[in-house]
C-alpha cells in the first residue's frame, strides 16, 4: 500500500467527525496539519475495538477447535 | 456527525480553491518529511525525494480521492459538463439551431396552451372562497329563483340575466349598453367588492326601490372619465332615472366580458308574464358553512316540485327534471373545456414529434462522436460518467430550448388570445404565471431527459476495438439505426393523426359555414335600432318611427330592400310564447306548447329569401291598426301540430290573451338558435307575427317590441350604409341609439368563431407537425446517405446508375413513411372519436380526409428525402472510395 492512501482515509474519518484536523506549526517550524481524535471518534474506536476483539476471539476459538 | 459532514461539504464547495491548496500543501508536506527521513538513511537529496515520491504513490490520485471524499465532485462535474456541453453546442451551430428551434416550438406551443388551460380551467375564480360557489345547470324565471331563495336552508341563492340591453340617454350621444340584471344579494353571494361606492342593498330588487345602477370599470372610465365622485349621480337608462351607487374594479366583468353595468332585478309577482316567463336567468348560490355539495344537491332536488308548482301556468311535471347544482367554475368552462383538452392533446403530440426529432439529431451526432467517446473511455472514463455528460448536454439543450420556448409562448399567447372567441370566459385574465413557468421548467427538463436518455445509453456502449479499427469511420450500430427509423415512423404517425384532426375540424367548419341556414345572408347589412321601451307605449308611435325609417333606408342609393325584425338568427333574442293551439290536446303531464315568435315587418321573409311553402306571406295591410290577427308558421311547426292536415286557417293564441291568431301560411325553417338547430329543445315551434299593434313583446298586452334590428339588402359597398343610417335615425329621433352595425355574413361568421378558432389553432399545430416531421426525415435520410457514401460509391463504381441509387434512397424513406402513415391512420381512427363533439357534418372516419392526408404525408416524406437522395446520386465514386 502507498503512503498516499493514508490521506483519503484521514479525510474520510474527518468527514465522519471521528477525528478533527487543525493547522499548526511543526517542530521544524513549518505549517502542518495535525489530526486529533474527537470524543465521538474515541467512542467509535471503542465500538470498533470491541467488535474487532469479538471477531478475533471467535476466529481464535475456531482455530483452536480445528 | 451529519452536521459536521454538511459543514465540511459546504466549506469545500465555497472555498474550493483554498481547500485544494491546503490539500496540496498537506500532501507535499508529507513527501518532504518522508524525503528528509530518507536522507538521514544515506542517499543524496534528489534520490531521497525520488524515493519519497515512490513511497507515496500518485499524488494526483490521492488528491482526487480526497476530493471525492469531500463530495463536491458532483457539482464540479456538472459545471465541467455544462462548460463542455456549451462548447460542443457552439461548435456545431447548424445542429444547435435546428434542435433549439424544434424545442422552442414544441415547448412554446405547450406553454402557451397550458397558460390558457391554467387561466381558464385551473385557477380558482377570483371571488371570495370560490370553491363554495355553485350554479344551477338550467336557467329559471324570476319567480322560480325567489322560491329557491326563500326555500333553501343549505344555500344562499342569487340570480343574474346573461345580458340585458339598456339605452343610455341624456348624455351627448345615445348608446346601447349591455348590462346584467341581478338579484340584490348577488354581489355579496359572489363575495366581490366595489372600487367605489357600494353594491346593492337587500330589497333593492323590489319594484319602486330598484332605481339604482352599478357601473363596470370600463364604462366608468369610458363615459365618466373615472370620476371619483360618480356615486350619487343620476343617469337615464331606458328612459328611467337610476342613481349610480358604485363602480366595480377592472377585473370584474361577470357574467361575461361584454357586461358594462348591473341593475337590480325587478321582482314583481303582480306581472306574472314577466315574473314567470319573460327571461330565464342564470341562478347561482353559495353553499352555507359545513354544507356539502351532496346535501345541497339533495335539497335542490327536493325543491324542484315546489318550483314547478309555483308557476303562474301549469308546467309539465318533469320540468327541470335533470337540473342540479354544480360547482360554478365547472359550469362556466363547460363549453370551452373539451376544446382546450383537444388542443392540449394536439400540442402534446407536437412535443412528441419535437422530441423525436431532437433525439434523432442527437443519435446521428452521437455516432459521429463515437471516436471521441472511445478516446475518453480508453482514458478511463466510466460508462456512467459518459452517459451523465451526454444527458447533461441534452438537458442543457432542452433548458435553452425551454427558455426560447417561453419567448414563443409569450408571443403565441397574445395570438391565441385574439384567435379564441372574445366572449370566452376568463380569457382576459389569462397570463404566464408562476405555475406556467414551473410547467415549462418541468417540461423542458423531462423532454431533455426523454430525448437525451436513449441516444446517450446507446452511444455510451462503445466497443473500443471496433471504434478505433474503423479509424473514425461512421459505423452506426444496427441498433441505433433501428431506433432512428422507429422515431421517424413514430413522427410520421403522430403528424398524420394531427393533420387528420385538423382536416376533420376544417371540413366541419366548412360544412357548418356552408350549411343551409334557411335564408340567404349575402348582401344584407344589419343594425340594431333601439328606442326606449317607453317610446313604444303609445300604440302607433313606434310603428310610425319604423315605417318612416324603413322608407328612408329604402331610398338610400344602392339599397334595394329593407326590413325589420325583433332579432337576428343566432342572436338568442326572440319572444317565447306559451301558447294555446286550437284543436291540439296537450298530453297528460306534458307542458304547454312553447312557440318562438319573430316579430317582423312584412318585407322580412322576402328580404331574407325564406321560402313560402303554403298560403300567403305578410302584406302591408297585416300591420295596419285594424288588421286581423295573422301568423306564419314554419314547416316543422306545421308538421308537428297538424300532421297530415292543412294548417292554413288554424288558430293559435298566447295563453294569457283571448284573441286567436289565424295561420295564413307555412314558411321554411330557419336555424335561429344555433347554426345546427332551429330552436332549443324546450321550444316546440316557430311563428312569425307582423310588426304592428297586435305583435307581442314580453308577457303583457299586445304591443310591438321597441328595439328592432334593421336589415337592408344592398348592392355594392355596404360599409357606407352605416354612416348614412346614423344620420337618418338621428334625423327622426336623436335619442335612439344605433348599434351593432355589421353585415349578416359577418354576423354569422362570428357565430362560428369558436369552431373556427379551434380549427385554425389545430391547423397551425398540424402544420408545425408536418414541418417538423419533414425536417426529421430530411435529417435522418441525409445522415443515412452520408454514412453510406462509401457503399454508394462502390455501387456506382460497379455500374449502378444514379437513378437506381436515387430510388434506393427515396424508397427507403417511402417505406418508413408508409409504415408511419399506416400507423397514423389507424391511430387517428381511434383518437378522432374523442373529437366527436367538435365535429359537424363529417364522420370521424371520413374516407376522403384519410386518403388525402395519407397521400399528402407520403409526398412530404418523399420530397424531404429527395434532396439527400439527389446528393447520393451525385456521389463521385473516386472521392467516396478514397474517402477512408
Q: Which of A6, A32, A40 sits opposite B1 (nearest CB)?
A: A40
Per-residue pLDDT reduced to its tens digit, A44-59: 999 999 999 999 999 9
**Alpha carbons A19 and A42: distance in angstroms, whole number:** 9
Residues of chain B with pLDDT under 70: 1-6, 8-9, 12-13, 43, 70-74, 278, 380, 455, 458-480, 589, 699, 883-884
Suggest the residue from B30, B60, B69, B71 to mutate for an interface test with chain A (most A CBs closer than 10 A): B69
pLDDT at B477: 61
Radius of gyration for the alpha carbons in chain B, expressed in angstroms and rounded = 38
Q: What is the DSSP string of B456-525?
A: HHHHH---HHHHHHTTT-----HHHHHHHHHHHHHHHHHHHHHHHHHHHHHHHHHHHHTS--SS--TTEE
pLDDT at B471: 45
Contact B26 A17 (CB under 8 A): no
Cis peptide before B255 (omega within 30 of 0): yes
pLDDT at B394: 84
Find out whether B691 and B564 touch, Cβ atoms under 8 Å: yes
Per-residue pLDDT reduced to its tens digit, B155-189: 999 999 988 889 998 777 888 999 999 999 999 99
What are φ and ψ of residue A38, in 5° steps?
-95, 175
CA dihedral B739, B744, B750, B756 (to 10 degrees): -170
Sign of CA dihedral B204, B206, B209, B211: positive
Instruction: State the CB neighbour count (10 A cutoff) for residue B501.
Output: 29
Coil vs helix vs strand at B583: coil
Contact A15 B34 (CB under 8 A): no
Contact A5 B62 (CB under 8 A): yes
Rounded to the nearest angstrom, the minimum Cα separation between A52 and chain B is 23
Contact A4 B58 (CB under 8 A): yes
Find out whether B455 and B783 touch, Cβ atoms under 8 Å: no
Residue B29 contacts A, CB cutoff 8 Å? yes
Find out whether B704 and B536 touch, Cβ atoms under 8 Å: yes
For chain B, the maximum distance between any two Cα atoms, rounded to a whole number of angstroms, is 141
Residue labelled with grid coordinates 344579494: B185
Chain B residue closest in CA terms to A14: B5
Chain A residue closest in CA terms to B5: A15
Residue labelled with grid coordinates 462503445: B462
Q: What is the DSSP string of B220-265?
A: HHHHHTT-TT-TT-EEEETTEEEEEEEE--TT--TT-TT--EEEE-
Q: Can you say how many angstroms the Cα of residue B391 is from the centroid of all Cα atoms in its chain?
A: 35
Q: How is residue B534 written as a grid cell?
A: 317607453
Residue labelled with grid coordinates 307582423: B690
Nearest to B849 by CA among B878, B817, B825: B825
Contact B1 A17 (CB under 8 A): yes
**Alpha carbons A47 and B831: distance in angstroms, whole number:** 66
**Alpha carbons B663 and B689: distance in angstroms, whole number:** 10
User: Which neighbouring-strand residues pair with B526?
Assistant: B711, B742
CA dihedral B242, B248, B253, B257 (to 10 degrees): 80
Find out whether B323 and B137 touch, Cβ atoms under 8 Å: yes
Q: Which of B1, B5, B26 sits opposite A33 (nearest CB)?
A: B26
**Alpha carbons B269 and B802: distance in angstroms, whole number:** 91
Q: What is the DSSP string of B256-293?
A: -TT--EEEE----TT-HHIIIII--BEEEEEEPTT--H
Q: What is the DSSP letter of B590?
A: P
User: Which neighbouring-strand residues pair with B525?
Assistant: B712, B743
What are φ and ψ of residue B153, in 5° steps?
-100, -20
Find out whether B545 and B733 touch, Cβ atoms under 8 Å: yes
**Alpha carbons B724 and B556: distance in angstroms, whole number:** 8
**Alpha carbons B558 and B3: distance in angstroms, whole number:** 90
Cβ neighbours of A27 in B, within 8 Å: none
B152 Cβ contact list (under 8 Å, min separation 6): B285, B299, B300, B303
B386-409: string of b/e by CB count within 10 Å (b at 16+)? Answer: bbbbbbbbbbbbbbbbbbbbbebb
CA dihedral B843, B848, B852, B858 (to 10 degrees): 90
**Alpha carbons A21 and A42: distance in angstroms, whole number:** 15
Instruction: List domains and CATH numbers for chain A.
Output: 3-65 (1.10.10.10)
ipTM value for the complex: 0.82
Residue B13 contacts A, CB cutoff 8 Å? no
pLDDT at B525: 93
Chain B residue closest in CA terms to A25: B29
**Alpha carbons B566 and B531: distance in angstroms, whole number:** 12
Q: What is the DSSP letter of B421?
A: -
Sign of CA dihedral B689, B692, B694, B699: positive
pLDDT at B542: 86
Nearest to B296 by CA among B124, B137, B181, B185: B137
Q: What is the DSSP string of B792-813?
A: HHHHHHTT--HHHHHHHHHHHH
Burial label, B356 (beta-carbon count in 10 A; 0-12, 13-18, 19+): buried
Contact A5 B8 (CB under 8 A): no
Contact B66 A7 (CB under 8 A): yes
**Alpha carbons A33 and B259: distance in angstroms, whole number:** 79
Rounded to the nearest angstrom, the minimum Cα separation between B61 and chain A is 8
Q: How many helices (H) and strands (E) does chain B have?
A: 28, 22
Amino acid at each position: 500500500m502507498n503512503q498516499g492512501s493514508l490521506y483519503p482515509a484521514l479525510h474520510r474519518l474527518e468527514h465522519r467527525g471521528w477525528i478533527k484536523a487543525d493547522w499548526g506549526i511543526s517542530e521544524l517550524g513549518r505549517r502542518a496539519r495535525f489530526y486529533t481524535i474527537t470524543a465521538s471518534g474515541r467512542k467509535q474506536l471503542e465500538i470498533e475495538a470491541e467488535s474487532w476483539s469479538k471477531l478475533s476471539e471467535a476466529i481464535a476459538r475456531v482455530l483452536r477447535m480445528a | 456527525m451529519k452536521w459536521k459532514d454538511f459543514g465540511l461539504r459546504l466549506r469545500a464547495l465555497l472555498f474550493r480553491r483554498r481547500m485544494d491548496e491546503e490539500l496540496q500543501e498537506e500532501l507535499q508536506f508529507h513527501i518532504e518529511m518522508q524525503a528528509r527521513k530518507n536522507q538521514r538513511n544515506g542517499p543524496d537529496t534528489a534520490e531521497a525525494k525520488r524515493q519519497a515520491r515512490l513511497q507515496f504513490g500518485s499524488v494526483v490520485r490521492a488528491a482526487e480521492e480526497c476530493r471525492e471524499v469531500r463530495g463536491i465532485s458532483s457539482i464540479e462535474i456538472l459545471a465541467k459538463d455544462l462548460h463542455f456541453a456549451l462548447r460542443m453546442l457552439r461548435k456545431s451551430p447548424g445542429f444547435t439551431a435546428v434542435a433549439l428551434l424544434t424545442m422552442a416550438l414544441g415547448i412554446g406551443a405547450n406553454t402557451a396552451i397550458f397558460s390558457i388551460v391554467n387561466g381558464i380551467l385551473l385557477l380558482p375564480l377570483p371571488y371570495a372562497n370560490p370553491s363554495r360557489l355553485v350554479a344551477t345547470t338550467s336557467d329559471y324565471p324570476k319567480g322560480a329563483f325567489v322560491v329557491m331563495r326563500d326555500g333553501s336552508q343549505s344555500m344562499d341563492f342569487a340570480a343574474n340575466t346573461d345580458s340585458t340591453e339598456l339605452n343610455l340617454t341624456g348624455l351627448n350621444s345615445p348608446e346601447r349598453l349591455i348590462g346584467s340584471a341581478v338579484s340584490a344579494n348577488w354581489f355579496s353571494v359572489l363575495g366581490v367588492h366595489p372600487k367605489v361606492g357600494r353594491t346593492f342593498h337587500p330589497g333593492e330588487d323590489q319594484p319602486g326601490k330598484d332605481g339604482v345602477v352599478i357601473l363596470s370599470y370600463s364604462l366608468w372610465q369610458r363615459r365618466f372619465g373615472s370620476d371619483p365622485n360618480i356615486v350619487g349621480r343620476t343617469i337615464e337608462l331606458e328612459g328611467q332615472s337610476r342613481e349610480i351607487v358604485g363602480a366595480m374594479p377592472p377585473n370584474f366583468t361577470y357574467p361575461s366580458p361584454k357586461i358594462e353595468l348591473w341593475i337590480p332585478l325587478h321582482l314583481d309577482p303582480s306581472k306574472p308574464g314577466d315574473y314567470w316567463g319573460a327571461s330565464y336567468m342564470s341562478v347561482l348560490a353559495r353553499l352555507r358553512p359545513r354544507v356539502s355539495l351532496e346535501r345541497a344537491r339533495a335539497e335542490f332536488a327536493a325543491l324542484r316540485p315546489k318550483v314547478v308548482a309555483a308557476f303562474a301556468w301549469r308546467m309539465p311535471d318533469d320540468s327541470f327534471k335533470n337540473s342540479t347544482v354544480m360547482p360554478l367554475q365547472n359550469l362556466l368552462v363547460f363549453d370551452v373545456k373539451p376544446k382546450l383538452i383537444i388542443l392540449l392533446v394536439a400540442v402534446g403530440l407536437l412535443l412528441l414529434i419535437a422530441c423525436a426529432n431532437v433525439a434523432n439529431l442527437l443519435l446521428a451526432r452521437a455516432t459521429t462522436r463515437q471516436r471521441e467517446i472511445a478516446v475518453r473511455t480508453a482514458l478511463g472514463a466510466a460508462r456512467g460518467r459518459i452517459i451523465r455528460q451526454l444527458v447533461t448536454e441534452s438537458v442543457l439543450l432542452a433548458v435553452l430550448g425551454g427558455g426560447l420556448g417561453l419567448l414563443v409562448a409569450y408571443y403565441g399567447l397574445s395570438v391565441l388570445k385574439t384567435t379564441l372567441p372574445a366572449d370566452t370566459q376568463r380569457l382576459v385574465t389569462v397570463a404566464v404565471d408562476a405555475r406556467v413557468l414551473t410547467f415549462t421548467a418541468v417540461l423542458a427538463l423531462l423532454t431533455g431527459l426523454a430525448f437525451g436518455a436513449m441516444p446517450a445509453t446507446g452511444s455510451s456502449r462503445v466497443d473500443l476495438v471496433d471504434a478505433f479499427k474503423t479509424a473514425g469511420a461512421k459505423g452506426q450500430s444496427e441498433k441505433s439505426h433501428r431506433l432512428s427509423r422507429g422515431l421517424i415512423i413514430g413522427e410520421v404517425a403522430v403528424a398524420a393523426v394531427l393533420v387528420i384532426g385538423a382536416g376533420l375540424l376544417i371540413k366541419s367548419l366548412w360544412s357548418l359555414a356552408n350549411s343551409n341556414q334557411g335564408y340567404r345572408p349575402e348582401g344584407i347589412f344589419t343594425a340594431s335600432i333601439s328606442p326606449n321601451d317607453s317610446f313604444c307605449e303609445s300604440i302607433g308611435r313606434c310603428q310610425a318611427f319604423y315605417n318612416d325609417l324603413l322608407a328612408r333606408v329604402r331610398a338610400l342609393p344602392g339599397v334595394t330592400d329593407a326590413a325589420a325584425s325583433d332579432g337576428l338568427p343566432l342572436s338568442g333574442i326572440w319572444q317565447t310564447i306559451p301558447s294555446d293551439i286550437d284543436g291540439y290536446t296537450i298530453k297528460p303531464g306534458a307542458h304547454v306548447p312553447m312557440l318562438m315568435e319573430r316579430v317582423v315587418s312584412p318585407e322580412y321573409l322576402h328580404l331574407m329569401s325564406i321560402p313560402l311553402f303554403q298560403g300567403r306571406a305578410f302584406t302591408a295591410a297585416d300591420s295596419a291598426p285594424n288588421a286581423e290577427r295573422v301568423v306564419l308558421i314554419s314547416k316543422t311547426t306545421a308538421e308537428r301540430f297538424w300532421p297530415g292536415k292543412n294548417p292554413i286557417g288554424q288558430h293559435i293564441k298566447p295563453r294569457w290573451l283571448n284573441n286567436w291568431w289565424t295561420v295564413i301560411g307555412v314558411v321554411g325553417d330557419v336555424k335561429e338558435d344555433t347554426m345546427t338547430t332551429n330552436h332549443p329543445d324546450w321550444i316546440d315551434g316557430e311563428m312569425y307575427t307582423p310588426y304592428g299593434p297586435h305583435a307581442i313583446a314580453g308577457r303583457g298586452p299586445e304591443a310591438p317590441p321597441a328595439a328592432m334590428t334593421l336589415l337592408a339588402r344592398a348592392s355594392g359597398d355596404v360599409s357606407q350604409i352605416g354612416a348614412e343610417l346614423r344620420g337618418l335615425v338621428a334625423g327622426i329621433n336623436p335619442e335612439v341609439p344605433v348599434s351593432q352595425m355589421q353585415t349578416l355574413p359577418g354576423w354569422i361568421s362570428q357565430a362560428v368563431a369558436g369552431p373556427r378558432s379551434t380549427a385554425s389553432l389545430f391547423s397551425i399545430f398540424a402544420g408545425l407537425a408536418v414541418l417538423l416531421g419533414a425536417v426529421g426525415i430530411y435529417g435522418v435520410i441525409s445522415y443515412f446517405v452520408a454514412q453510406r457514401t462509401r457503399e454508394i460509391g462502390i455501387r456506382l463504381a460497379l455500374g449502378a446508375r444514379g437513378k437506381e441509387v436515387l430510388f434506393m434512397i427515396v424508397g427507403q424513406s417511402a417505406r418508413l413513411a408508409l409504415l408511419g402513415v399506416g400507423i397514423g391512420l389507424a391511430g387517428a381512427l381511434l383518437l378522432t372519436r374523442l373529437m366527436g363533439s367538435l365535429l359537424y357534418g363529417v364522420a370521424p372516419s371520413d374516407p376522403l380526409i384519410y386518403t388525402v392526408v395519407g397521400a399528402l404525408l407520403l409526398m412530404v416524406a418523399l420530397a424531404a428525402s429527395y434532396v439527400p437522395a439527389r446528393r447520393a446520386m451525385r456521389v463521385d465514386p473516386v472521392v467516396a472510395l478514397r474517402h477512408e
